[in-house]
Each structure stands twice: as structure tokens, then as C-alpha cells.
Amino acid sequence: MQEEMKLETKALHAGYTPKNGEPRVLPIVQSTTYKYESSEAMARLFDLAESGYFYTRLQNPTNDAVAAKIAALEGGVAAVLTSSGQAASFYSVFNIAGAGDHIVASAAIYGGTFNLFSVTMKKLGIDFTFVSPDSTREELDAAFKPNTKAVFAETLSNPSLTVLDIELFAAAAHAHGVPLIVDNTFPTPVNCRPFEFGADIVTHSTTKYMDGHATSVGGVIVDSGNFDWNASDKFPGLTTPDDSYHGIIYTEQFGKGAYITKAVAQLMRDLGSIPSPHNAFLLNLGLETLPLRVERHCANAQRVAEYLQAHEKVSWVNFPGLPGNKYYDLAKKYMPHGTSGVISFGIKGGRTAATVFQDSLRLATIATHVADCRTCVLYPAGTTHRQLTDEQLIACGVPNDLLRLSVGIEHIDDILRDLEQALDKC
């Protein structure tokens, strides 16, 4: 039944099917614990011989329903919610790599992920090679080592808005016997479904469009169930007995659910990072309207990008939906209905003009956030990157005239009027 539903319908109905007399809306099970009738019933759960709830760090009915909905939206077989997008990125890799292993990652990734990989996970003994998101197959092949365990990239990168050639990256990963993990935060499954192009694992910061209302930090990891962990001896954590779980072999016992079961049974057990059921409930409300909101974000962003491109005080606009953008063709292939509501652009007059522009906006909020239903703006050279010199800013791809605009779902006339009055003052 569920396979036949369209995405808009799944966004409302997948993951939770109330029975006769049960609440229509997903209940918040705000309970750390669950009650059992006998010690034997509980023992079966601890042996993973039976599925059921015993402690919310491992499983919770509200969290599981929301994870199942996101799995359905992505077309995956299983998913697990995490307390942040950062936790999702970390677990997605750490679930299959440890000290002595190596990962190939796109260099065009969220700053927090870059730091997680290049500093924190490096301390755990995992080595990363960063490659251009525009790499050719030959360049990708050259980045692999015998100990490479995965390839990681963003489908639409934050903040540089590069569009990944998912099929190319997936083919390279598979030729070297490893999965492709993609962070699909910006397009969301409404605009891009990476599993259809060969990606194996998808992660999200649900903090962005999925929540959409800027209420809850969260993340999710979704497994396509397509990667064959048994095809090589690269993934002993999944294919050989887990001594910390009575010698269970995840691929034997859980089949296509092996990767997510291991992430829950080992990583959640040992490291935590679960969302509160209340936050999962809020995320679910956001998911119900995700297809509607994303459609409006994209339509508004297209209009704003065209408006900015034609404006005399604007020196450049980066938006993959504009013909002539370097990623226009890839965006049409992988995200045919739109990319996201995020645009970056440069304003003539450098720091002074950018600051005046930002301070003059009335509707758009100044915020270190993107993908909110309310339009927001960030001037990195004056805020998150303000300690850098102009030369350093150019080196990290954030020139001193760059403004990042996250176009919301207000009426387009009000958004354009706000931009116009602010540009008039520059």
C-alpha cells in the first residue's frame, strides 16, 4: 500500500497508522522506560531476539514513527533519528569506519561537517581525503586507498550550492567496494531522492527544511538497504559477530536493516544523541507540510534570484536554478523541481554596502540559520567569518561581498519589496 502513495501523501500518513479509537495525531511518548510482565519477556528484548521498547536511548515509539516517515519519503528501508545533524553525520561514518580507516569526502560540505571530519574524527584515527565536488572519475579513483570505507558528499552543498553528480560519485564508490553517503539536507526528499541515483545512505540535518519552523535541532540517517556489506571483508562490524551483543551478526540477523540496527544497538547505546520525543513530534508537524513549503521556497527563491541578477547594485548571484549557473544542468537532472530556497549573492561596495543592506532589511531576519519558513539573511564576513582578512575570506570561498539569503514562504511581493528598499539604501 505505502509504496503506491505519492510523496505528499506519505508526508502526512507514513510512519504512523492509528488503530480503532487511537489518537489520529502521532502521540508524544514522553517516557524513558517501558513496563514488562516478566523477566523472560525483557531478556528476549535484550538479546535482540524480539523487537520492542526497553529504554528511550535505544528506541521510542514517537521517534521511531518519525524515522519511519522519513525513510518512506527517501524511499529507504530504515532510519534512525539523531539529536542533531552533526550527530547524524558522525554516526553515518563511524558506524562503518574506525581507527586506521579512510574516507573520501567532498570538500564542498557544511563547515561543521568539515571540522568534524578534519579535526575531531581525525583524532579518533580516521583519515579523510577531501576531493573537489567537480572531480572527474579519474580524480575520484585516485583518492581511494585500500582502507577506504565510504565516500561522503552533500547533494546540494551548504553554503556554496554545488550540485553533486550523484551517479558519478556512486559509481566510483561502488567500483571500490564502498557505499556513497550523502547529506541531502538542502534539497530534502521533495526535490532530490539520492537512492534513485545510486546513493546508499542519506543523512539530514532535520533542523533545516524538515522542521522548517526553527523549533528543533535534529538529524536523521536513512539506509537504502541496497549496499551489499557481505561482498567484501571491508565491513567486519556488520558481517562478523558483535561481542558486545552476544555475538550477533548484523547482516545475518537483520538483512537490509543491518546498518541502522547496528547504529542503534551500538552507537546509540554507547554514545547517546537521541532527540527528545517532543522534538520528534515537532519535526513530524514540519514534515506534514514539507512538500508544500519546499515548493513555495523554490518558487520564491527563483523569483528573488532573477530579481537580484537584474539589479544594478548586485555584482553576482549564485543559484543553481538560474540558466548559466555552473550547476544548472546537474540541478535539472537531479533536482528537476527546484534546488532549495537558498541563494548567495554579492553586492557592489564590499563590506560597507553589505552591512548597510543587511541592517536595512525589515522583513528578513539576521540569523545564523537557513531553511526557515521565514526569510533570513547572513553576512558571513561580518559575522561567522569576521575574524578573517579579505584574502583569507577569498581562500575559503566566502568573499567579503557575499550575502546568503534563505528565502522564506512569505508572499513574494513582500520579500521583493523588502529587498528593494534595502538595496536602495546601499
Ligand X SMILES: *Cc1c(COP(=O)(O)O)cnc(C)c1O
The contact set with ligand X (CB under 6 A) reads 84-86, 89, 110, 112-113, 154, 158, 183, 185, 205, 207-208, 217, 219
Q: What are the two backbone dihedrals, phi and then psi, of residue 326, each rounded to the nearest 5 degrees?
A: -55, -30
Q: C-beta of 373: minimal distance to ligand X in Å? A: 16
Tell me how far apart the alpha carbons of residues 406 and 376 are, in angstroms, rounded to a whole number.
5
Q: C-beta of 350: minimal distance to ligand X in Å? A: 26
Q: C-beta of 375: minimal distance to ligand X in Å? A: 17
Tell me how far apart the alpha carbons of residues 218 and 397 are, in angstroms, rounded to a whole number.
27
Which residue, 219 or 380, is less far from ligand X as judged by CB? 219
Which residue, 84 or 95, is less far from ligand X as judged by CB? 84
Which residue, 76 or 159, is less far from ligand X as judged by CB? 159
Which residue, 91 or 195, is less far from ligand X as judged by CB? 91
Q: C-beta of 87: minimal distance to ligand X in Å? A: 7
Which residue, 91 or 110, is less far from ligand X as judged by CB? 110
Q: C-beta of 82: minimal distance to ligand X in Å? A: 9
Q: In this structure, is the dihedral angle defined by the CA atoms of residues 213, 111, 262 and 37, taken in order, positive or negative?
A: negative
Q: What separation in angstroms does the CA of 154 have from each of 132, 186, 257, 405? A: 12, 9, 23, 19
Q: What are the two backbone dihedrals, phi and then psi, of residue 77, each rounded to the nearest 5 degrees?
A: -100, -25
Q: C-beta of 205: minimal distance to ligand X in Å? A: 3
Q: C-beta of 312: minimal distance to ligand X in Å? A: 32
Which residue, 203 or 400, is less far from ligand X as judged by CB? 203
The residue of the chain with the least Cβ separation from ligand X equals: 85
Tell me how far apart the alpha carbons of residues 239 and 241 are, in angstroms, rounded to a whole number.
7
Q: Which grid coordinates are listed for 144?
A: 581511494
Which residue, 27 or 112, is less far from ligand X as judged by CB? 112
Which residue, 90 or 235, is less far from ligand X as judged by CB? 90
Which residue, 182 or 314, is less far from ligand X as judged by CB? 182
Q: C-beta of 106: minimal distance to ligand X in Å? A: 11
Which residue, 237 or 275, is less far from ligand X as judged by CB? 275
